[in-house]
Structure 1
Amino acid sequence: MTRQDTPPEAPDRRAGRRAAWRYGGVVAAAFTVLVVALSVVVALSTRAQRRQDPELLGPSWLDGWYQYDAAWYLGIVRGGYSYSPGQQSSVAFFPAYPLSVGALGDVLGDHQVAGQLLTVLCGLVAVVLFALWARRRLPRRSAVMAVAVLLLYPYAFFLYGPMYADALFLLSAVLAFVLLERRWYLAAGLVGAVATAGRPVGVAVAVGLVVRTLEILAEDRRAAREAASEAGSEVASVPASEVVSEAGGAVEAVAPGGVDAAPVRPGWRDLVAAVRDVRLRHVGVLVSGLGLVGWCVYLWLAFGHPLAFVEVESAPGWNQGVGPRTWFKIVYAGTLIKGPYDVALLLTLQALACLCAVLLLRRVQRLFGWGYAAFTAVVLLIPIIGTKDFMGTGRYVLVAFPVLAAAGDFLATRSRRWVAPVTLVVCGILLVVLTFLFGRGVAVS
């Protein structure tokens, strides 16, 4: 077939793609504005107390982003991993981010700049992908509100410049699910492997991909059965996966305006039944576990301890050991009672973020299905149980992207219209305050 013989693309599809590009461009512009604005905040916060650190040779707006874990990542990039039993060791930090920083730094000639540039680039792409993902699944107002929640979430500054792994993890998580929704199972698994090699909670991506795959098969089975019933044929006896494959893709219900209609979600019995429809191509999502497996194999070969990253969490200074003292937040309770109260306030803010996320889990399941709910639940459960005082959990809520989308839908559907703007203003103020404190060297998450 010559180029002239190629059938023209449907006008509505072309218009939809142009609209998506415009929407993504607006989101990217908003992200860029926040990067610039918060970099100014960081510059102001570090201006009065420039740290005497030989690693910091750049301007204050750049060096202010270099805090806490950034030193660990830069040390890994330059000197590799080390492990000292019973002491804080670099094996606590998973390899996906430092490997990426090392590769980019070798090109740029500056690993610090590479780490912070990688954060901004990954954050930009992750936010745009999230916006397009939400646009397909939520009404217009809810989708816009979901993007606003992500951009203004008080701990979202970890997407705007710090040399931390959160932006790369968020990108790999969102992209893995986006690829899965297009039925690119192996590609989703490969990207998921980046997530499981990026953070301890990366296992949540693997769990979510598996559950979502079964859910997709259950949805396809139901769609095929309903189509067969309407046609009065025996098509329902054919495995749904084969029907969908022969149809050339996924069965989608589109509501007026281009937003996917909210389907009736399969129950857990439907997910179990969907196991019968699993074919070899669907198993590709299991590749997502190889990131964690590969990391454990490396630790075993290099240090003789495949779970060294778990062991060092209990080292003095981190004190995140496993046991009732951690599970029941005894340290957090002691801080609330005895102080210091500024630390107690920062910890409580993260605890409240976790509480709101947990309360939104049911909405996540209703809006997006069991796969996204499973991913979100595991992302939240691991740090909630595994931290002694909620420190760091603000960043974990950030990467649980379905719960931020659910929060946007919650705000968009309030009968009192003032709730959404007031909430966003409060979040924006907290984002600026926490960014300022971070630039001053305060441990905010």
Structure 2
Amino acid sequence: MRSALQRFWAEWSWPLQVFLLTRLALLGAAFFADIALPGPPEAAGRLEPSNLWLDVWARWDSGFCLHIATQGYYLYPDEPSAVAFFPLYPLLLKGLAGLVGNAVLAGVLLSHLSFALALMVLWKLSLQLLNSPAAARRAVLYLAIFPTSFYFSAVYTESLSLLWVLLAFYALHERRWEWAAVSAALASATRVTGILLAGVLWLEYLRAWEGRSRWPVGLALAGVGSLGLLSYMAFLAVQFGDPLAFWSVQGSFSREVGGFIEEIRPLFQQNFLTGPISWNVLLDLLALVFGVVGSLVAARRLGLGYALFGLLSLLIPFSSGTGSLSRYVLMVFPAFMVLAEAAERPWLDSLIRFIFPLLLGLLLAIHVNGIFVA
């Protein structure tokens, strides 16, 4: 038994150490930011006020996930509604809440467990793709200390989504097509951009067989990878009469096609002297540049499938606005791999290790006090 544990720790010590150190640091930082820096009166309401250690991880979108888990879906025309959120995370949250007796605690546990597993898969995939243990270590670390990485600890879908995405790409790398399809299906039941994995799966399958007549099998695998989205659409059709309700309500969340134009225009009409300039928009645009550039470089370094997933994961939401791009970029793991390779230069590695945690602490303090970050 001891030798088995030693082998396990030898193989997984780095991602587990990064997980434990960063999550414990964020747990303490979130708590003290909440009690030392009280937010404005109009800030988002508290969901677990009797336990501040838990409450700091339940803000904004957490309310929708918790409502779905405890009371079910609802759709109010022209108002932000729960149907915008895909079902797998709330379903798992509901099941875990039945065991621990508290929905917020269940969400925190689910997010942390998912993120720990995601870092382990990222570690394994990075070792194989980057061919450098040092670069693989940096990829895991940079993702865990990215300025918006606190969402991996919150009652949000980020950690679970990333886990399915990484499992799908790892299965693709190993040419385990059936497992890639299952992971893609779970991803598309967690978040709408998970459907991109079905296309990546089909593309990678055809590339692997070098154009042989295997396209029907590829389409079948892509179909399996789409089952999460298709099943949710079927539910919405039966429950609300609109299979695209998750898309129809996006306008109520201030997301409409072309919305990014109205958000970016002030940056060209104003400057830091005349202001005001929305720091959220600047943050989101910087995240967009990071993700897009990283994905483009990944096309040459990692493969077309990695690049397409990264680009579309950002450009699709960007088409309707800049909002939350600094959170959406967390899914673009190829950009973190590319950054990890570039940071073999000591000065760049040191700069990242200084700036990322600094911004992470600042944005976490803003978020836990009910001010929207992403």
TM-score, normalization: structure 2?
A: 0.90
| C-alpha contact (below 8 Å) 2:69/2:94 kept by paired residues | yes
**1:409 is aligned to 2:341:** yes
Contact 1:185 1:281 in 2 (8 A): no
**Unaligned segments of structure 2, at least 5 residues:** none
- In 2: Cα distance, 1:32 partner to 1:77 partner: 27
Aligned to 1:153: 146
- For 1:404, the aligned partner's letter is F
SS at match of 1:276: coil
Whether the aligned pair in 1 keeps the contact of 2:77 and 2:249 (CA below 8 Å) is yes
**For residues 275 and 407 of structure 1, do their structure 2 counterparts lie closer, same or farther at Cα, with a shift above 3 Å needed?**
farther
Gaps of 5+ in 1: 1-13, 219-273
Amino acid at match of 1:320: R
- Per the TM alignment, residue 301 of structure 1 is displaced from its structure 2 partner at its CA by 1.0
Distance 2:23 2:135 in 1: 24
Pair 54,442 (structure 1): closer, same or farther in 2 beyond 3 Å = closer
- Is 1:330 the equivalent of 2:267? no
Deviations 1:207-244 (A, max 9, x none): 222222223333xxxxxxxxxxxxxxxxxxxxxxxxxx
Contact 1:185-1:285 at 8 Å conserved across structures: no
Indicate if the aligned counterparts of 1:210 and 1:371 stay in contact, CA closer than 8 A.
no
* 1:364–1:373 CA contact under 8 A, matched in 2: yes
Q: Using a 3 Å threshold, how does the CA distance of structure 1 residues 275 and 351 change in structure 2: closer, same or farther?
A: farther
CA distance in 1, matches of 2:299, 2:218: 26
Q: Hey, what's the Cα distance between the residues in 2 that align with 1:342 and 1:18?
A: 56
Kindly, what percent of the aligned residue pairs are identical? Answer: 27
SS in 1 for 2:226: helix
Partner of 2:32: 44
Q: Pick closer, same or farther for the CA change 1:18–1:286 going to 2, 3 Å.
A: farther
Residues of 2 paired with 1:25 and 1:116: CA distance? 22
Query: 1:76/1:350 Cα in 2 relative to 1: closer, same or farther (>3 Å)?
Result: same
Find the aligned partners of 2:311 and 2:205 in 1 and give their Cα distance. 17
Pairing of 1:254-265 with structure 2 (within 5 A): none
Quick one: distance in 1 between partners of 2:303 and 2:104? 40
The match for 1:72 is 64
Give the AA of the match of 2:31.
Answer: A
Tell me by how many angstroms 1:87 deviates.
Answer: 1.5
How far apart, in 1, do the equivalents of 2:224 and 2:303 lie? 22
Match of 1:301 among 233, 238, 247: 238
Contact 2:206 2:218 in 1 (8 A): no
Paired residue type of 1:143: A
Q: Distance in 2 between matches of 1:35 and 1:349?
A: 23
1:26 to 11, 14, 20: 14
For 1:392 and 1:419, locate their aligned partners in 2 and report how far apart those are by CA, in whole Å: 26
Query: Contact between 1:206 and 1:285, CA under 8 Å: does it hold in 2?
Result: yes
Letter in structure 1 aligned against 2:73:
Y
Q: 1:47 to 1:337 in 2, by over 3 A?
A: farther
Partner of 1:223 in structure 2?
A: none
- Asked whether 1:313 is paired with 2:250, we answer yes
Q: Match for 2:353 among 424, 440, 444?
A: 424
RMSD value, Cα: 2.6
C-alpha spacing 1:342/1:32, structure 2 compared with 1 (3 Å)? farther
**In the TM superposition, what is the alpha-carbon distance from 1:103 to its structure 2 partner?**
1.1
Aligned pair count reads: 365
Per the TM alignment, residue 146 of structure 1 is displaced from its structure 2 partner at its CA by 1.4
Residue 355 of structure 1 aligns with an amino acid whose one-letter code is V
Letter paired with 1:88: P
1:396 maps to amino acid: Y
Partner of 1:396: 328
